[in-house]
Structure 1
């Protein structure tokens, strides 16, 4: 089997696993049911993933690696604006909405070690995001960390909320851009927070 066909099969199986987890909930799906749903034997699935948590970990890790890759593309070009970061998040969310939902809803189902690794990856993503969009932010310490966390949550959640409203794509993206840019502009300058820290 050639590499392109293997990748297509992986993407299709990943999407089918995500759909099953979204429909039934991660905790309600057994490995046997998952294998059957994917058209695999249980032994074949166990060969690749010793447990459901390992599959879940791979799906969430893949999402954060994609988010980091999106930011790294902008760093290489030195031209990516916050509006482009927002548009890239919107596009990735449109492509993988179930993966975002799984990352937010079912991360607690991972083992403590996996949760720690995903937490570190998420922190790397949040740090890169803030460094990219606000290299001259005047906030420091916990306020800066909290700002990065909130911005990441907005970028990862707003597309689902806005897409559920059934707005045309261009209007939803423009609204998301307006909300994020307007909400963080003053915060990143730290005008009001610096007096409270």
Structure 2
């Protein structure tokens, strides 16, 4: 196997981006492996070498997004260590991530149902871990337990992950400020 070079990594990233764009444009279920291979500049056989199925590619794209979301929590932890607001840092990090990966957010919301049950369960575990860490970071005194705590974490995560798309027409600082106001207001009222 030839060594991994910067050019090969860039080619792979560009192909993944083209695959995401095709899935986002046509819908995951409407794209065949042959069409996908042609769209990204590979033969079908070569594509199958990298990904045994479209579902495996979609799973990798969504899993990568959850890994990036976990990394935003690390940014929030570092902000807290510096005495800064974790929530402000997390809002900015989610805004930036959404700007960099809007198609992955769309695929994660819209096409996760196209994955196998096992893949959906694995992603659900990643999401639950992310949501639990998120809520513990921004509302450590929350007295909610069980299903109420999980539901609150889910709502807060959804707001962080969907508001950037809803507010993208606003200037960045205005959008960030509005997100912070919405989240702070909701968190304060819910977690009293």
TM-score by length of 1: 0.90
For residues 160-175 of structure 1, the aligned pairs below 5 Å read 160-163=165-168, 166-175=169-178
1:62 maps to: 64
2:12 maps to: 10
Counterpart pick for 2:140 among 127, 135, 140:
135
For residues 1-197 of structure 1, the aligned pairs below 5 Å read 3-76=5-78, 78-79=81-82, 81-163=86-168, 166-189=169-192
Runs of 4+ displaced beyond 6 Å: none
Structure 1: distance between partners of 2:9 and 2:132: 31
Structure 2: distance between partners of 1:148 and 1:44: 41
Residue 2 (structure 1) shift: 5.2
Gaps of 5+ in 2: none
Residue 41 (structure 1) shift: 0.8
How many residues align? The count is: 187
TM-align CA RMSD: 1.4
**Higher mean displacement: 14-23 or 71-80:** 71-80
Question: What do the CA deviations read for 1:34-90 (whole angstroms, capped 9, x no partner)?
Answer: 011100111110001000000000000000010001112333552451111011001
